Homo-oligomer: A and B are copies of this chain.
Amino acid sequence: MILKSQVEWALHCCAILAGLPEGRYLSTKALAEFHGLPKEYLSKALQSLSQAGLVHTTLGPSGGYRLARAPAELTFLDIIEAVEGKARTFVCTNIRANNPCRAAGYCDDRPCAVARIMWEADEAWREKLRSVRLSDLTETLAKEIPADLWKSSFEWVLERAG
């Protein structure tokens, strides 16, 4: 069970978009080039962000993406669920219903106990991801990335932002 690589891509792209000045847009092409990713497929991930309302887009030259909200109002979970979907990571197929000792037509009044535990763990994962904001990530990156790399990356992006 491994998350799609698009999740990683979307998080990194959002981190870049978080640094974009008000009103500017960055294209799929620039984001793909910056991260060394296949442009067409990255585009699908960005479309997911767009459909989830996390980013705004414009068309035409100088078009692209910008965040729809402030980085402090965007959580990791928002981004991950946009790309990966909101479905729980454990699917209960209710195999208890196959118990040969069950009376025909027997009906369970609660979800399977196994599933309930698995879903609690899933929720613990989501709760952690909900607690981290995109702004937390950018603050960490600002501290950790060497100042000259940070600056040149910022300039690289600005040169391409419409």
Question: Hey, which bits of chain A sit against chain B, CB under 8 A?
Answer: 1-5, 7-9, 11-12, 15, 33-37, 76, 84, 87, 89-93, 95-103, 106, 110, 113-115, 117-118, 120-122, 124-125, 127-129, 132, 136-137, 140-141, 144, 149, 152-153, 156
Question: Given known contacts A121-B129, A140-B113, A144-B113, is B90 in contact with A8 (CB within 8 Å)?
Answer: yes
CA distance A121 to B140 in the complex (A): 17
Question: Given known contacts A121-B129, A153-B99, is B90 in contact with A3 (CB within 8 Å)?
Answer: yes
Question: Which of A34, A76, A95 has the most CB atoms of chain B within a 10 A radius of its CB?
Answer: A95
Look across to chain B and name the residue whose beta carbon is closest to the beta carbon of A33.
B100
Partner of A11, one of B5, B102, B114, B128: B114
Number of copies of this chain that the complex holds: 2
CA distance A7 to B2 in the complex (A): 14
Q: How far is the CB of A116 from chain B (nearest CB, A)?
A: 8
Top 3 closest A-B pairs, CB basis? A36-B98, A125-B125, A101-B152
Partner of A12, one of B110, B114, B120: B114
Q: How far is the CB of A120 from chain B (nearest CB, A)?
A: 6
Could you give 20 example pairs across A and B, Cβ below 8 Å?
A1-B1, A1-B2, A1-B3, A1-B84, A2-B87, A2-B89, A3-B91, A5-B91, A5-B93, A8-B92, A8-B95, A35-B96, A35-B99, A89-B89, A101-B153, A114-B137, A121-B125, A121-B129, A124-B127, A125-B128
